[in-house]
């Protein structure tokens, strides 16, 4: 997520492709009746999608399409997409339409050794839709990656996991109190999911957001590095420097934003965090 482009005016509600991952999108599914939302969640025949972007080289191997799903149960203090928190901010899209969209790109994705990444929000809020779309992608020969905070990993069966080639797992903090403070939820289900992925030998990349004065405790990072190195399935670590590109969304949504005056971490701090992961034998970028 490197673009700092701002949302265009006069958005077309049918246009799912975002000019940047930082487009503000709200209320696109507000007219869907509650009963249909429940049916959608139970069947996976309808998904609520914030947007999709093409040509990403940051969200898994190769060049990728990323589908950003709406809905998240975390409330990370540093979230740069708070408009993805509510599912009904997303555009309702049938699984059939999503498959047809993917089909248009499959040949290119294979040539570019990329694939489909489903992110959010938290994609496993809509796990049935995710599994259906990944199953379709696999049948097209498209690589699949799930970008998740991991807390709802127990929703996936073993068979569901077979449709996922790679998991990009966020671990937000090691310290349980700090984790609770940063995201408003417990770390335990996240670590349980990581252990399950390791037991299943499912390839995993770790993503760690580095926020000055919040998640830049080097002891905390060392514990995460030790944990991930011990799993045996973590092939890459991405240290993601905090930025303010989504800060405007908090203001526009009227949500109190505690990190308004926080600067991005220095290059030295990012390098030090990467170094800690490398000292534990992990490839960190």
Binding mask 34-73 for ligand SF4 (x = CB under 6 A): --------------------------------------x-
Cα separation values, 255 from 22, 75, 94, 223, Å: 16, 11, 31, 32
Q: E strand or H helix at 54, and its extent?
A: strand 46-56
Q: Using the rule CB under 6 A, which residue among 59, 83, 122, 160 binds ligand SF4? A: 122
- Tokens at residue 249, please? 């969304």
Binding mask 171-190 for ligand SF4 (x = CB under 6 A): ------------x-------
Q: Using the rule CB under 6 A, which residue among 51, 56, 81, 89 binds ligand SF4? A: 81
Tell whether residue 84 is a contact of ligand SF4 (CB under 6 A). yes
Least separation in angstroms between residue 225's CB and ligand SF4 is 21
Angle in degrees, CA 96, 169, 77, rounded to 5: 100
Least separation in angstroms between residue 66's CB and ligand SF4 is 13
CA gap 18, 152 in Å, rounded: 26
Least separation in angstroms between residue 215's CB and ligand SF4 is 12
The side-by-side arrangement of strands in the sheet containing 143-148 is: 91-94, 46-56, 64-69, 115-119, 143-148, 166-170, 204-210, 234-241
Q: Using the rule CB under 6 A, which residue among 48, 68, 74, 208 binds ligand SF4? A: 74
Q: Using the rule CB under 6 A, which residue among 91, 149, 163, 215 binds ligand SF4? A: 149
Radius of gyration of the chain (CA): 18
* Residue pair 206/169 in contact by the 8 Å Cβ criterion: yes
Q: Using the rule CB under 6 A, which residue among 21, 114, 120, 150 binds ligand SF4? A: 120
Rule CB under 6 A: which residues touch ligand SF4?
72, 74-76, 79, 81, 84, 120-122, 149, 183
């Amino acid at each position: 997520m490197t673009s700092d482009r701002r949302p265009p005016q006069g958005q077309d509600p049918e246009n799912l492709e975002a000019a940047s991952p930082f487009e503000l999108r709200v209320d696109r599914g507000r007219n869907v009746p509650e009963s249909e939302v429940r049916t959608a969640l139970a069947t996976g025949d309808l998904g609520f999608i914030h947007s999709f972007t093409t040509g990403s080289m940051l969200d898994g191997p190769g060049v990728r399409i990323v589908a950003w799903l709406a809905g998240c149960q975390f409330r990370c203090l540093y979230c740069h997409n708070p408009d993805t928190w509510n599912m009904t901010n997303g555009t309702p899209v049938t699984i059939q339409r999503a498959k047809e969209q993917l089909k248009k790109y499959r040949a290119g994705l294979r040539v570019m050794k990329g694939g489909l990444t489903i992110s959010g929000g938290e994609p496993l809020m809509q796990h049935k839709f995710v599994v259906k779309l990944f199953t379709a992608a696999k049948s097209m020969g498209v690589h699949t990656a799930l970008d998740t905070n991991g807390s709802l990993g127990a929703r996936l069966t073993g068979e569901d996991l077979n449709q996922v080639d790679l998991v990009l797992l966020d671990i937000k903090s090691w310290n349980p109190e700090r984790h609770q403070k940063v995201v408003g939820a417990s770390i335990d289900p996240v670590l349980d999911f990581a252990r399950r992925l390791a037991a299943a030998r499912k390839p995993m990349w770790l993503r760690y957001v580095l926020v000055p004065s919040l998640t830049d405790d080097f002891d905390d990072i060392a514990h995460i590095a030790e944990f991930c190195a011990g799993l045996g399935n973590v092939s890459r670590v991405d240290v993601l420097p905090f930025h303010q590109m989504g800060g405007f969304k908090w203001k526009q949504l009227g949500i109190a934003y505690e990190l308004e005056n926080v600067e991005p971490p220095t290059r030295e701090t990012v390098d030090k965090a990467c170094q800690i992961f490398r000292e534990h034998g992990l490839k960190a970028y």
